[in-house]
Amino acid sequence: MSWVEDGWRHVWLPYAQMATAPLPLAVARTEGSRIYLEDGRVLIDGIASWWTACHGYNHPHIRAACARQLEIMPHVMFGGLANEPAYRLATRLAALLPDPLNRVFFTDSGSVAVEVALKIAVQARLNRGITGRTKILAFNGGYHGDTLGTMAICDPEEGMHRLFRGLLPEHPVVPLPVDAPRQAAFDLYLEEHASSLAAIIIEPLVQGAGGMVFHAPEVLRHLRRAADHYGLTLIFDEIFTGFGRTGSMFAFEQAGVVPDIITLSKALTGGTLPLAATIASDDLFAAFLSPSAATALMHGPTYMANAMGCACANASLDLFEREPRLAQAATIATQLEAGLAPCRAVPGVKDVRIMGAIGVVELEHIENPATLRMALAAQNVWVRPFRNIVYLTPALSISEAEIDQLCTAIFKVLVNNK
């Protein structure tokens, strides 16, 4: 494994204190819900590579689509040239989403998809001659990415607003209106400040990186009413929740309301290649149309609409049509409910909660998430605790036996950890 040790002197890991970070596990290959390590061990994967690999790793249908596209044309610039997988994907995404979500802007990461959503919301108003509405209302516990624009609309701690004061744009971040008193406070906030706002942004139903915190569909309905009342753009960031994760294809379906913009990434390509999409309403798109170049959306990542990424995304959508992914998410929910229930009795466990194919064990405190991760790997499962939570977001195609192994390992490690 000399490549790990050699490279270790040069790589810089995400979200890691490099002074103390343990050497990562060297992966030789992946298949289904299994990670095969260089040292011969096989881990059951509980998080599907930050919940991207929704069909499991190396699904033959996606692999074939990817290989075919590589032969034909890996990439061609999107400015002025059209590639078939991207145009087909845009058509399919618009068909999959309700009206008026019909206009797709492709990017290459979730953070950038959110950046584009913010630019669309603000510029649509400027293009219509409305000035002074440049703020985005976001929520405590929210997470929308790591770029500077998105950090500014994350929870202030997550986004490190204090550390980066002066660098980050300032946007209001308020408590989620999850109950009557907080709804009243939210309504009052809007009454006083709506005239400076362009948009409201939320991760619908689940605040993922903020600790896998769930809220009721009614919260989304409240936001829809408020956005309509004050003429605000409602952005649902479904980068975590999209593609079956919460039990429905998109989380917003459970609330029966439609946003003005939705952002998608992660499972969009079934965990194969980086791709993201910002899908805007017809009305927002119309705000950019004029005889003048000055009202155009000035954004265009070099690799946007990458043909291989789009071919993989089309193949992933085929699988959602052909294979019973949503039924599998429902089955996983039942299995997680039963499998994680014993954790409720473990001292130090604060909460166990399940939504769709998301299982969360919240602890009072985790001393060292990396140590816990290693203890779980020693049980032959790949689970990556963070803050005070241990969570599972497995492939929707995972087997019952694999779920059992994941839940049993978590219970065993938490008991031994006490």
Active-site annotation, residues: 15, 143, 237, 266
In the bound state with ligand PLP, the residue whose beta carbon lies nearer, of 111 and 328, is 111
Considering only 78, 186, 240, 382, the residue that binds ligand PLP (CB under 6 A) is 240
Q: CB 265 → ligand PLP: shortest distance, Å?
A: 5
Task: Spell out the alpha helix ranges (H) of 231-365.
Answer: 282-286, 307-322, 325-340
Q: Is 110 a binder of ligand PLP (CB under 6 A)? A: yes
Q: CB 403 → ligand PLP: shortest distance, Å?
A: 22
Q: CB 238 → ligand PLP: shortest distance, Å?
A: 7
- Position 169: which residue type? P
Interface mask (CB under 6 A) for ligand PLP, residues 190-209, using x and -? -------------x----xx
In the bound state with ligand PLP, the residue whose beta carbon lies nearer, of 35 and 239, is 239
Who contacts 50 (Cβ-Cβ below 8 Å, separation ≥6)?
A: 266, 393
- Residues numbered 252 to 291 that lie near ligand PLP (CB under 6 A) are 265
Beta-bridged to residue 392, according to DSSP, are 359
Q: CB 308 → ligand PLP: shortest distance, Å?
A: 17
How far is residue 159's CA from residue 141's CA, in Å, rounded to a whole number? 10
Q: Is 111 a binder of ligand PLP (CB under 6 A)? A: yes
Stretch that binds ligand PLP, among 10-18, 176-184, 232-240, 277-285 (CB under 6 A): 232-240
How far is residue 170's CA from residue 135's CA, in Å, rounded to a whole number? 8
Q: Is 306 a binder of ligand PLP (CB under 6 A)? A: no
Q: Is 239 a binder of ligand PLP (CB under 6 A)? A: yes
Q: How many helices (H) and strands (E) does the chain have?
A: 13, 16
In the bound state with ligand PLP, the residue whose beta carbon lies nearer, of 138 and 403, is 138
How far is residue 49's CA from residue 272's CA, in Å, rounded to a whole number? 10
Burial of residue 123 (number of CB atoms within 10 Å: 0-12, 13-18, 19+):
buried
Peptide bond into 100 cis (omega under 30): yes
Q: CB 233 → ligand PLP: shortest distance, Å?
A: 17
Burial of residue 48 (number of CB atoms within 10 Å: 0-12, 13-18, 19+):
buried
Length of the chain: 418
Q: Is 402 a binder of ligand PLP (CB under 6 A)? A: no
The CB-nearest residue to ligand PLP is 110
In the bound state with ligand PLP, the residue whose beta carbon lies nearer, of 34 and 245, is 245
- Are 413 and 386 in contact by the 8 Å Cβ rule? The answer is no
How far is residue 116's CA from residue 110's CA, in Å, rounded to a whole number? 10
Q: Is 114 a binder of ligand PLP (CB under 6 A)? A: yes
In the bound state with ligand PLP, the residue whose beta carbon lies nearer, of 59 and 144, is 144
In the bound state with ligand PLP, the residue whose beta carbon lies nearer, of 145 and 244, is 145
Q: Is 145 a binder of ligand PLP (CB under 6 A)? A: yes
How far is residue 25's CA from residue 235's CA, in Å, rounded to a whole number? 37
In the bound state with ligand PLP, the residue whose beta carbon lies nearer, of 111 and 397, is 111
Q: Is 237 a binder of ligand PLP (CB under 6 A)? A: yes
Q: CB 382 → ligand PLP: shortest distance, Å?
A: 17
CA 124, 129, 130 angle in degrees (round to 5)?
A: 75
- Residues numbered 322 to 361 that lie near ligand PLP (CB under 6 A) are none
- The site for ligand PLP, by CB under 6 A, has a size of 14
Who contacts 403 (Cβ-Cβ below 8 Å, separation ≥6)?
A: 332, 335, 336, 339, 392, 394
Binding site for ligand PLP (CB under 6 A): 109-111, 114, 143-145, 203, 208-209, 237, 239-240, 265
